[in-house]
Structure 1
Amino acid sequence: MQPLRWKWLKTLLMILGAGVVIVGLFFVAANLWVLTRTQGRIEHRVAQCTKQPVGIVFGTSHWTRAGGRNPYFEARMRGAADLISQRQVSHLLLSGDNRTQFYNEPITMWRDLRGRDVAEADMTLDYAGFSTFDTLARAREVFGVERAMLVTQPWHLPRALYIADALGLDATGCAVSPDHASESWRLEAREWIARVSMLGDIYLWGRQPYFLGPREPLRIVPPDQLLPPAVPADRGESTSD
């Protein structure tokens, strides 16, 4: 009887081991599929990012759990301000979580960008960007965005671009990296899991955005029709007649 039990145990362990290997291979393959489908549309320098009418900036917390300024938030705001000043985009859609009155990512982004001299008219706030999927679905269905530049960290962009493709949004990625980020490996590891989950959202259970609401199309002036920034007068010369 004892040898029979051992035989069944060995068989069970072999089946479990094979299952782990299959799941692992699927996990890696799914991530490689997403990466290979999107990497060609990601630029890592703002000046090289393909011009688009709209820059979609994904919300994140202003502060870290330790109480310091979030370097990922800082990188996104710095990149968004540079894109506007360099005429890489003509409008910014600031999309983030505002699920409670005590946490408002879009307003925080708006205030930060106003402090960087981004004009109020160049920004629209989306208060229902509860996730990457919701942000992109609302950009397409609520704000009428058809072409956009996605502004976020390089490890986030492949998933965001893949979702954009699935939703019919013509998008490119502009990667913004923080100067210092001690825990980036944790976020990158979590992103590998999020990519697999995202494929399930798209192909298996047909995920829908949490909230859409009425259509509010953006009024966008194409970047190639924007006037060049005015050259300030030389302070060393008199401008009087």
Structure 2
Amino acid sequence: MKKIILFLSSIFIALVVFIVHCNYEVVSASRGRTYDNIENLPYNRVGVVLGTSKYIVGGGLNRYYENRMKAARDLFFRGKVDYLLVSGDNALIEYNEPMRMKKSLVKLGVPEEKIYLDYAGFRTLDSVVRAREVFGLERFTVISQKFHNERAIYIGEKFGIDIVAYNAENPNKTRIKRREVLARVKACLDVSILNTQPKFLGDRIYIGEEEDN
């Protein structure tokens, strides 16, 4: 019995150590690269808006979504980005995150031709890696809440992508922190052990090519 208890205790300790390590890796990778103050944010040609549902379960607007849209609008009109790439889930016919984000941004005044859609941003890893592999972005600005931005920067660093991020307002810090612990462990496993790649890639899409020509 003592051996079993010792074995289970060892596993538990190892898991705790790994969780702490993953969080440390994410925080370290993103240190000095997330911005709350728009004035201090460096310019990048493209801002990548990470998707989430527009509505919460049971109805009502998702404040995480609303705040990301407002943050993206602010970056565009303050000249911190020239284009916005909205990246999200489009796995179901009735659920289209990128199109919803585009419609919201247009309502906020962003010109339609300045918005590009990534329909295969199923996970943060997909959004980050596809931004380079499909849309040709070696460096860009991520737009989401800070906890999400830190993870996106960490993933980008592991893939050799230069990312800074603008932090949209976070409506509920306590609730998200619990979920983010597991998300960071998954990200750590994906990039350090499993060598996870995006679910889909595809043909190259050039952002702003028409205007550049």
SS state of the match for residue 89, structure 1?
Answer: coil
**CA–CA separation in structure 1 for the residues paired with 2:34 and 2:79:** 18
**CA–CA separation in structure 1 for the residues paired with 2:174 and 2:58:** 17
Contact kept? 2:134, 2:201, Cα under 8 Å? yes
Contact kept? 1:76, 1:176, Cα under 8 Å? yes
The answer to whether residue 187 in structure 2 is matched with residue 198 in structure 1 is: yes
- Which residue of 33, 37, 40 maps to 1:45? 37
**Aligned pairs (5 A) from 1:3-22:** 9-22=1-14
- Which residue of 141, 145, 150 maps to 1:149? 141
* Aligned residue in 2 for 1:65: 57
**CA–CA separation in structure 2 for the residues paired with 1:158 and 1:77:** 18
**CA–CA separation in structure 2 for the residues paired with 1:168 and 1:24:** 28
Identity %: 37
Letter in 2 for 1:95: S
Letter in 2 for 1:140: R
Contact kept? 1:46, 1:79, Cα under 8 Å? no
**CA–CA separation in structure 2 for the residues paired with 1:220 and 1:38:** 30
Cα drift, residue 15 of structure 1? 2.3
SS state of the match for residue 56, structure 1?
Answer: strand
Normalised TM-score (structure 2): 0.93
* Aligned residue in 1 for 2:71: 79
Letter in 1 for 2:101: M
* Aligned residue in 2 for 1:25: 17
Cα drift, residue 83 of structure 1? 0.4
Stretches of structure 2 lacking an aligned partner (at least 5 in a row): none
Contact kept? 2:35, 2:41, Cα under 8 Å? yes
Q: Looking at secondary structure, tell me which structure has more helix per residue.
A: 2
Contact kept? 1:58, 1:135, Cα under 8 Å? yes
The answer to whether residue 209 in structure 2 is matched with residue 209 in structure 1 is: no
Contact kept? 1:91, 1:220, Cα under 8 Å? no
**CA–CA separation in structure 1 for the residues paired with 2:51 and 2:79:** 22
The answer to whether residue 89 in structure 2 is matched with residue 97 in structure 1 is: yes
User: What count of residue pairs does the alignment treat as equivalent?
Assistant: 210
Over the aligned positions, Cα root-mean-square deviation in angstroms equals 1.5
SS state of the match for residue 188, structure 2?
Answer: helix
String of CA shifts for 1:177-219, please: whole Å, max 9, x gaps. Answer: 14x43xx423221111111111211122211111111111212
Contact kept? 1:145, 1:217, Cα under 8 Å? no
**CA–CA separation in structure 1 for the residues paired with 2:14 and 2:194:** 22
- Which residue of 119, 125, 129 maps to 2:121? 129
Residues 87 and 220 of structure 1: is their aligned pair in 2 closer, same or farther, counting only changes over 3 Å? farther
Cα drift, residue 220 of structure 1? 6.8
**CA–CA separation in structure 1 for the residues paired with 2:42 and 2:53:** 27
* Aligned residue in 2 for 1:106: 98
- Which residue of 160, 164, 171 maps to 1:172? 164
**CA–CA separation in structure 1 for the residues paired with 2:209 and 2:141:** 14
SS state of the match for residue 162, structure 1?
Answer: helix
Q: Which runs of 4+ in 1 moved over 6 A?
A: none
Contact kept? 1:45, 1:176, Cα under 8 Å? no
Specify the structure having the higher radius of gyration (Cα).
1
SS state of the match for residue 137, structure 2?
Answer: coil
